[in-house]
Each structure stands twice: as structure tokens, then as C-alpha cells.
Amino acid sequence: MASTLGRRLVACLLNISEGRQKDLVEKVAQAAITDSHGGRQKGTTVLNIFSDYDYNRSVITIVASIELIKEAVLSACERAFSLIDMKEHKGVHPCMGAVDLVPLYPLGEEVDLKDCGKKAQALAAALTERVLGTSAFYFGWADVPQCRGLAQRRKEIGWFRKDTNLDTIQPDIGPQPSKRYGLTGVGASPYVMTCNVTINTQDIALGRDVAAGIRESSPCGIQGIQVIALPHEGTVEIACNVESVQEIPPSGLGAGMEPWPAFNIGGQNFYHAPASLIKDCVTELAGRYGVSTKGTALVGFTPLECKGLAERALAQDIGEFWKVLHSLRM
């Protein structure tokens, strides 16, 4: 049963702008696995909830078949928009929307990026119709025909700037962004992980130098790495989005190095930089300034972990999988 389920699975790592009220975040997660009558929505699961107080942000991992993912995510988004007011939001992590990011990632061999792109477009259209006043921009395979990546789209709209005026932004769908709901990014791409490395300093300028050194666009950067440095719990966190790539760079094939993990989408292999490589590079760069690393955290799962856990959760019909995840990992 699990292998049959796994062939059509899609994951959404829903980013919402709330990480301090656990009950609120869990209400959003519950909405994804609840049907219109208030009962359990079969075929959907929430694998994980990651919340950060300083960032005031949560990532909710929702998985379902491509046929069910839209309604599951829409329900969670509707709930989030009803509970989160961006006019009241405070946090160090950049954000523009109460529901800040809705990325769809294909997990199964029978679902490709174009499928997810079309589903993302349909999701955004339904969202702006159901929650009047919401608006969205597209990225990845939902951004037809350009297929611009999330990092590029964020730069274009000023996502990283605190002084960006919502009145100057032209969304791809929906009205001018409102101060309550803000602007939501909706798209599709190969799986993107988050790997955060904490360095033992409060010097944000130093952190930015370290981040610049590992960023994909840097001459010696790591392919697939988009990164920012943020103040976090009295230190600096090097927060990395680990994008999947189609070819391992020659520098990633060195002797003694951990292999780049692979997963398959529509017959094509994709790879992602291992967390150990990211940690080693940050450690080396920070060490040049006499600064040590304090810890490394992979937020959520690798693509293969996500698929395997989703198959297990759905086969056993566990919607609130996040509640049993810790005990399974012990």
C-alpha cells in the first residue's frame, strides 16, 4: 500500500508568520487534515511542525496525493489568514505575508514539476477567491513561462527589505497586497531543505561575510545554497535554503567527502548538498575570524525522509504525525 501511495505524493512546506503561539500554529496544521464536516480528512498528513520564537515563523510539512494536496493546503491557509494579522507581526526573519510561502514539491515518480506548477497556480487562484483581499506571486514551475526561482522573485519584490512598500508591489494574482494579509509566494520546485548553522558571535556583519562565502553565487560557494545571516538567541544563525540540483558539481565529488544524496522526479535524478558539507564550510569560514560554530540543525527532512515518513503516516492513517515523530526518532 505504501509504495502505491508514494508514487503520487506531493509535499507542501507551508511557511506562516507565527512561531510564538503553539496553539495557533497547531490549529493551522489541524485544518490541513480536517474535512468540511470537521472530521478526519483521509489521505492527508502533517509530518512536522517547526516553530522559531525569534523568527516568529513556523514551517508545517503537509503531504498528500496530488489529487488532495490543494484542498489540504487551502484549508490550512484559510485558517492561518483568519488567525494571523501582519500588522501585529514582529520577528527577525524577513516575511511579507501571514501565509508567507506555499511551495509544492513532488515526492512521487508519477508526479512531475509541471504537475505541481499547475496545481500551485490553481491553489493560488482558489485562495484569492476564498479569502478576499489575499494576493500572491508565483515562483518556480508556477511562474510560467519564466520559471524564475524563489530567490530571484524575492529579490525582485523586495522581500528582504524591511522598507518595501506593499503599495508598489504588483502581485501575479489577487488585489494589491493588504497590510493584514500581506503577500504570499506560491510555487513549485524540486525539494528544498533548510539547514541552519549557528556561529558563536553576535556580530551580524561577520555572519553576513560567512553567508556570502557559501552562497551559490559566490566563486567558492556551494551549488544550490541560498543563505542569509540572522540574529538568533544571542548568536548569529547562517540560515540556508538547500535547493536540489540536477548535477553534482566537481567540487562535491572529492575523495573522503560525503556523497550528495539523490532522489528521482519523473525519471530525472536530483541531488542536494549534504548538511555535513554546509557545516564544514561555515566552520572553516567562521574560523578565519576566530569564531566557532555552536550547532547545526536540519529543519524538517531530506526528500527521501519526507517520502518515507509520509508513506508510513498515510498507510497507518496518522494525520497528526508530528505528535509521534519525536518518539519514532528516539
pLDDT at 1 over 50: no
Per-residue confidence (pLDDT) for residue 5, from 0 to 100: 64
Instruction: Spell out the domain ranges in the chain.
Output: 2-190+303-329, 192-299
Quick one: pLDDT band at residue 36, thresholds 50, 70, 90? confident
* Short-list 76, 73, 74, 99, CA closest to 86: 99
What are φ and ψ of residue 26, in 5° steps? -70, -30
The third-level CATH classification (topology) of the domain covering 2-190+303-329 is: Formiminotransferase-cyclodeaminase; Chain B, domain 1 (3.30.990)
pLDDT at 104 over 50: yes
Percent of the chain with pLDDT over 90: 82
Cβ neighbourhood burial of 304 (10 Å; 0-12, 13-18, 19+) = middle
Identify the CATH number of the domain defined by range 192-299.
3.30.70.670
What mean pLDDT, rounded, does the chain reach?
A: 93
d(CA 133, CA 149): 25
Query: In sequence order, what are the residues at sequence separation of 6 or more whose Cβ sits closer than 8 angstroms to the Cβ of residue 214?
Result: 221, 222, 225, 227, 238, 240, 278, 281, 282, 285
257-300 pLDDT, tens digit per residue, is 889 999 988 888 999 999 999 999 999 999 999 999 998 888 88
pLDDT at 330 over 70: no
Annotate 224-259 with b (16+ C-beta within 10 A) or e (fewer). Answer: bbbbbbbebeebbbbbbbbbbbeebeeebeeeeeee
Q: Which residues pair with 192 in a beta bridge?
A: 243
d(CA 184, CA 199): 30
DSSP state of 229: E
Percent of the chain with pLDDT over 70: 97
Q: What is the pTM of this model?
A: 0.95
How far CA 75 is from CA of 68, 99, 203, 212, 267, in Å, comes to 11, 12, 41, 38, 32
Helix ranges, the chain (H): 2-6, 22-32, 69-83, 113-130, 150-157, 204-214, 275-287, 303-315, 322-329
CB 225 within 8 A of CB 215: yes
d(CA 11, CA 102): 10
Instruction: Tell the residue number behind the cell numbers 485562495, with chain if given.
Output: 127
